Amino acid sequence: MVKRDYVLASVVFLLLSQFLIASNLTALAVETLPSHLPLAKSQRGNHEMKLGGPERFALESSSQCTASSNSLKTFTIANSNNASFIISFEEALEALEKMHYRLWNLSFSYVASDVSPDFFVSCDGLTEGFLAYYGGNNSVYLAEYPSGFVKTEVVRLSTNSSFEACYLWVLRQMDGSEVWVDATNGDVLLQVPARAPGVINFDVAVRVVTSPKPKVQAWVVEKYAQIGNYSLQEYLSSDGSIRGRFYVRSIGGVLYESEVPVGPVQSPSNVPKPVLYIQVDNDQDEYYMWEITCGHRVYYVDARKGTIRLNISEIEAQRGIQASPQQSPTYTTRCAHFEYLYVLAVAAVGIAIAAVAIKFKHRRNYAETSRVSFSVK
């Protein structure tokens, strides 16, 4: 009898142990999944934020990531130059999308100044801008928002103009092109083409990986390997904490080291510096890319759209990573969930069998006791 109870208890113990071990392994598998989507959160100014794992500081930005309404909000400006109404930076971005033109025909040049603009930056890091004041002469002055206080000259027009004095937003888009937007009604006043059309520069790529809400179009990588040595110097941020390299990505997944272009996109065959191989089955396009190393993470940014394609650790970048299509994050997580449910089901069945066995044992003991008592009587 004692031996039978011992065997039954051992079976229950083994089932519970299997359940606990499988649950721990499942949780560990889910926790160690490669993260392709950066986790970012930031407030206004220099606040600590986490992006894909490491801790770093966000770039200073005077914009807040809040959705603005469709109707333009206005702010009354008490200023000795002009009493005016100024729309916000977010509303200037909305006006830029609507593109209501009232173009000025003029040329200009920036003036060296000790006072730098207080740049507003969009939540995805792709557009920055500052408020300025055109006084009706050949000068454009830096202005504060929302007070409208005029500071120092930042732009000098090279041609005489007869346009009315107004406040304006100077917006710099991700490829370096510049758009001036009337800060009173959202009209587009001036468009300045980019030096390299359609390609973001290093500063914009840095803003993308450190922005609160970057755009992400994650790759599912089949293979990652370094296949050549670097010959060009890295780009460095002003404090040296962020590094960058520029590539041309071929259709086959080879990344060629390259300089930032000043004209149309060149063919990778003209850039014989293959250094990386990143195999991605669902991306057969040819385009420029930025590799940004920030903290202990390496980001690969599409230089056409400013979207993050890959986010891996420096260790993975040095060793190389290799995966199969079945090891994508979605598939792995789904398998982990099914495994977890399977283990729960097995444990439940084991517990039910043990309970039935114990109940049957008690009934049999009761029957034997009853027979013994009856025979004694």
288, β-bridge pairs: 248
The DSSP secondary-structure symbol of 116 reads P
How much is the pLDDT for 174? Answer: 83
For residue range 182-218, list pLDDT tens digits in order.
Answer: 998 888 888 888 766 678 889 999 999 998 889 999 9
How much is the pLDDT for 331? Answer: 30
The dihedral formed by the CA atoms of 183, 186, 189 and 192, expressed in degrees to the nearest 10: 90
Structure token digits, residue 31: 């926790």
Rounded Cα gap, residues 185 and 188, in angstroms: 9
How much is the pLDDT for 365? Answer: 57
| Cα angle 129-248-39, degrees, rounded to a multiple of 5 | 55
Q: Where are the beta strands (DSSP E) in 227-329?
A: 235-236, 242-249, 254-257, 274-279, 287-294, 297-302, 307-313
Rounded Cα gap, residues 260 and 206, in angstroms: 15
Rounded Cα gap, residues 366 and 368, in angstroms: 5
SS3 374: helix
Omega cis (within 30) before 146: yes
SS3 23: helix
Rounded Cα gap, residues 149 and 3, in angstroms: 91
At 86, give phi and psi (nearest 5°): -115, 125
SS3 289: strand
Residue 204 exposed, middle or buried by CB count within 10 Å (0-12, 13-18, 19+): buried
| Helix, strand, coil percent content, the chain, rounded in steps of 5 | 30, 25, 45
295 φψ region: left (φ > 0), alpha (ψ -120 to 50), beta (else): left
Report which residue type is found at 152.
T
Report which residue type is found at 244.
G
For residue range 95-144, list pLDDT tens digits in order.
Answer: 877 766 677 766 677 766 667 788 899 888 888 999 999 887 778 899 99
- Residue appearing with tokens 């890295």: 234
Per-residue pLDDT of the chain (377 residues; tens, 9 = 90+): 544 554 555 555 555 555 544 444 334 333 332 333 232 222 223 322 222 322 222 333 333 343 333 333 333 333 434 435 888 999 888 887 776 667 776 667 776 666 778 889 988 888 899 999 988 777 889 999 888 889 888 888 776 666 788 899 999 888 788 898 999 888 888 888 876 667 888 999 999 999 888 999 999 899 999 999 988 889 999 899 999 999 999 988 999 999 887 665 555 445 568 999 999 988 888 999 999 999 899 999 999 889 999 999 877 877 766 543 333 333 333 334 444 455 566 566 667 676 666 666 656 555 555 444 444 44
How much is the pLDDT for 9? Answer: 56
SS3 45: coil
Report which residue type is found at 263.
G
Report which residue type is found at 172.
R
Structure token digits, residue 284: 């057969």
